[in-house]
Amino acid sequence: MKAIVQHAYGSAGDAMSLREINKPTPKDDEVLLRVHAAGVNWADWSLTAGRPYVMRLIYGFRKPRQGSLGSDVAGTVEAVGNTVTNLQVGDEVFGAAKGSFAEYATAKAKQVAPKPAGLSFEHAAAIPMAGLVALQALRDVGKISAGQKVLVNGASGGIGSFTVQIAKEMGAEVTGVASTANLDMLRAIGADHVIDYTQDDFTQGTEKYDLILDMADKHSIAERRGVLTANGTLIPNSGVGGAWFGSVGRIVRAKLLSPFIKHNLKPFLSLPKQEDLVTLGELAEAGTITATIDRAVPLADTATAIAYVGAGHAKGKTVITVD
Ligand SMILES: NC(=O)c1ccc[n+]([C@@H]2O[C@H](COP(=O)([O-])OP(=O)(O)OC[C@H]3O[C@@H](n4cnc5c(N)ncnc54)[C@H](OP(=O)(O)O)[C@@H]3O)[C@@H](O)[C@H]2O)c1
């Protein structure tokens, strides 16, 4: 099969190539998927670059151990592992896979969900990681209820665009922050208010928010606490940071500070829960959420797509089409 193989850490163009390799074999609790589309995430850029360096303790010090890239997937089940009972050959699914930038990839049967019939593979592949962060941040971490005020910083990106739509569905009043060119997109996906970060600083405004989900993390915690309501929640959510430890320092500082202040500081890691993928599929099928596809490119152009997402200004999601 054709697959993107990562043979080094570095710039996307140098770190990977399109090669002919053997199809993977699913383990007992996995399925083999014929990949139709694969979503690109900031995590793919991070793994490509091998940054922050601390992650190399897990993925390989000098070069990546696993070689495969890509996790978001939409595809058709080609084979099932011995203990898999919830899926059959021919089922169309979307979710989290191992090595989805390829013609075939394996996935845990519990980390994929049925693809809604009315949803294209391309749109389904755009949902998993970004949609899961948005849903889990609003519902489980922020515990948002109708009428509350939510500010999404970095609202036009992959996670931000789903967050705006899901927060609206939950009845929140949503403020989206992005650069000038993306403000119309924010209004189109339902934001009640928009702030252009090139002109205005949301931490200097008079409005208070019950939840701030911050994909940029350019302000200090104190600055952002200044625009939280009395029991408001801040989710610092950018993985970008120093070369060695990335965002780890910011996360540790937030955790240490949290018990001593009235506000909730809650950095978190999203999980590929099947029931949440089902929820996202239902929201997509109902038209409540729609993936904004910035660009869809063929498998051979994966390196360019990863570099684009890594630059941090995607408008919605970037997707690899594999057919
Ligand atoms: N918690 C988790 O489990 C988890 C999971 C996945 C990813 N993440 C993290 O989430 C972050 C965002 O991911 P994503 O996929 O949404 O990224 P993305 O698609 O690249 O979106 C980033 C957004 O940030 C905006 N932005 C850039 N500079 C900004 C600034 N100074 N102020 C305000 N907004 C700014 C961009 O808007 P403009 O184009 O208008 O500048 C863009 O819309 C990543 O850093 C990643 O590490 C966390």
Q: Which amino acid is at 16?
A: M
Do residues 257 and 145 share a domain? yes
**Atom number, ligand 1, closest to the C-alpha of residue 156:** 43
At residue 148, does pLDDT exceed 90? yes
* 3-state secondary structure at position 138: helix
Q: Rounded to the nearest whole angstrom, what is the distance from the C-alpha of residue 153 to the centroid of ligand 1?
A: 8
pLDDT tier, 289 (very low <50, low <70, confident <90, very high otherwise): very high
Which residues contact ligand 1 via a Cβ below 6 A?
A: 41-43, 129-130, 133, 153-154, 156-160, 177-179, 182, 197, 215-216, 218, 237-240, 268-270, 309, 312-314
**Residue 41's domain is classified under what CATH number?**
3.90.180.10
Q: Rounded to the nearest whole angstrom, what is the distance from the C-alpha of residue 208 to the centroid of ligand 1?
A: 22
Domain presence at residue 274: no
Do residues 153 and 250 share a domain? yes
The rounded mean pLDDT for the chain is 95
Do residues 245 and 119 share a domain? no
Mean pLDDT of 152-174: 98
Domain presence at residue 182: yes
Residue 127 is predicted with a pLDDT of 98
Q: Cα separation of 100 and 107, whole Å?
A: 9
Residue 260 is predicted with a pLDDT of 83
Provide the H-helix boundaries in the chain: 12-15, 42-49, 56-59, 121-126, 128-136, 158-169, 183-188, 221-225, 248-257, 274-285, 302-310
Nearest CA to ligand 1 atom 12: 215
Domain presence at residue 273: no
Ligand 1 pocket: which of 152, 159, 238 to mutate (most atoms <8 Å of CB)? 159
State the residue range of the domain holding 213.
130-265
Lookup result for tokens 């949609």: 131
At residue 303, does pLDDT exceed 80? yes
Summarize pLDDT for 91-143 with one digit per residue, the tens. 999 999 999 999 999 999 999 999 999 999 999 999 999 999 999 999 999 99
Do residues 109 and 51 share a domain? yes
At residue 250, does pLDDT exceed 80? no
Four-CA torsion 142, 146, 148, 149, nearest 10 degrees: 90
Ligand 1 pocket: which of 215, 233, 313 to mutate (most atoms <8 Å of CB)? 215
Do residues 52 and 153 share a domain? no
pLDDT tier, 323 (very low <50, low <70, confident <90, very high otherwise): confident
Nearest CA to ligand 1 atom 39: 313
E strand or H helix that includes residue 209: strand 209-214
Do residues 9 and 116 share a domain? yes
Do residues 78 and 154 share a domain? no
Nearest CA to ligand 1 atom 33: 154
**Atom number, ligand 1, closest to the C-alpha of residue 311:** 20
Q: Rounded to the nearest whole angstrom, what is the distance from the C-alpha of residue 24 to the centroid of ligand 1?
A: 32
Tokens found for residue 180: 């000038």
Domain presence at residue 225: yes
Do residues 113 and 150 share a domain? no
Do residues 68 and 85 share a domain? yes
How many domains is the chain built from?
2
Domain presence at residue 147: yes
Residue 316 is predicted with a pLDDT of 97
At residue 170, does pLDDT exceed 90? yes
Q: Rounded to the nearest whole angstrom, what is the distance from the C-alpha of residue 91 to the centroid of ligand 1?
A: 32
Do residues 108 and 198 share a domain? no
Q: Rounded to the nearest whole angstrom, what is the distance from the C-alpha of residue 240 to the centroid of ligand 1?
A: 9
Work out the percent of the chain whose per-residue pLDDT is above 70: 100
Residue 249 is predicted with a pLDDT of 78
Domain presence at residue 196: yes
pLDDT tier, 245 (very low <50, low <70, confident <90, very high otherwise): confident
Domain presence at residue 271: no
Domain presence at residue 275: no
Residue 255 is predicted with a pLDDT of 80
Residue 247 is predicted with a pLDDT of 78
**Residue 185's domain is classified under what CATH number?**
3.40.50.720
Do residues 24 and 86 share a domain? yes
Q: Rounded to the nearest whole angstrom, what is the distance from the C-alpha of residue 132 to the centroid of ligand 1?
A: 14
Q: Rounded to the nearest whole angstrom, what is the distance from the C-alpha of residue 159 to the centroid of ligand 1?
A: 7
Summarize pLDDT for 17-32 with one digit per residue, the tens. 999 999 999 999 999 9
Q: Rounded to the nearest whole angstrom, what is the distance from the C-alpha of residue 165 to the centroid of ligand 1?
A: 16
Do residues 165 and 260 share a domain? yes
